[in-house]
Amino acid sequence: MNKPALRKLVRHLIKQRKSAEAARFNMKYFGIEVVGHYPREGMLEIPACHTQACLAGEAVLTLNGGFLKRQGGIELYKKFRIKGFDIEDTATKLLDLTHEEKRRLFFFMSMNGSGMKGWPDQFETEYNLAMTPADRIGVAIRRVAHFINTDGLE
């Protein structure tokens, strides 16, 4: 795993937490265009950029693997397109994660199949109880810091 890139992601999230784009962060979506009516399941606030993105999506934006499209959503730069619009694979490559590290960082344990790893329960619980975008990003910051400190094992 690329610890300097992960630290850059943490710095990005810290800045985002204090910005009007805090509502963009959402662990249920990789980097989709927000259209239609609110509230949509998992989307509590309308982000100004009309995009919802999880840690993988934020990693792509932070590490210059893609950009926010004007109408919303993330577009990958051509050199990173693996299977078209593939945020997860691009973020995995940019952060130099193994398959297991990717599962632990980009997904809650409840999203993964039986026996699979994901965010430790404490972080998933905190995220689900968070009431504001800034609170959710705060949990993500602590989650990524914990991931770095445990060398990707938790």
Whether the pLDDT of residue 138 is over 50: the answer is yes
Q: 36 or 78, which is more confident?
A: 78
User: Rounded to whole angstroms, how far apart are CA atoms 108 and 41?
Assistant: 16
User: Rounded to whole angstroms, how far apart are CA atoms 98 and 106?
Assistant: 12
pLDDT, one tens digit per residue, over 15-30 is: 999 888 888 888 887 7
User: The pTM is what?
Assistant: 0.86
**What average pLDDT score do residues 58-69 get?**
91
Spatial CB neighbours of 154, under 8 Å, sequence gap ≥ 6? 104, 120, 146, 147
DSSP code of 25?
B
* pLDDT (0 to 100) of residue 63: 95
pLDDT, one tens digit per residue, over 22-60 is: 888 888 877 776 655 444 555 556 665 567 778 999 999
- Cα–Cα–Cα angle for 92, 93, 97, rounded to 5 degrees: 50
Q: 104 by DSSP, 3-state: which?
A: helix
Average pLDDT, the chain: 84
Which of these ranges, 10-19, 42-51, 63-72, has the smallest mean pLDDT?
Answer: 42-51
Which of these ranges, 36-50, 90-104, 137-151, has the smallest mean pLDDT?
Answer: 36-50
* pLDDT (0 to 100) of residue 145: 98
Whether the pLDDT of residue 85 is over 90: the answer is no
Nearest residue to 106 (alpha-carbon basis) of 42, 29, 1: 29
**Cα–Cα separations (whole angstroms), residue 80 to 63, 76, 89, 123, 151:** 11, 6, 9, 30, 25
Strands 51-52 and 32-33: antiparallel
* pLDDT (0 to 100) of residue 39: 46
Query: How much of the chain exceeds pLDDT 90, in percent?
Result: 47
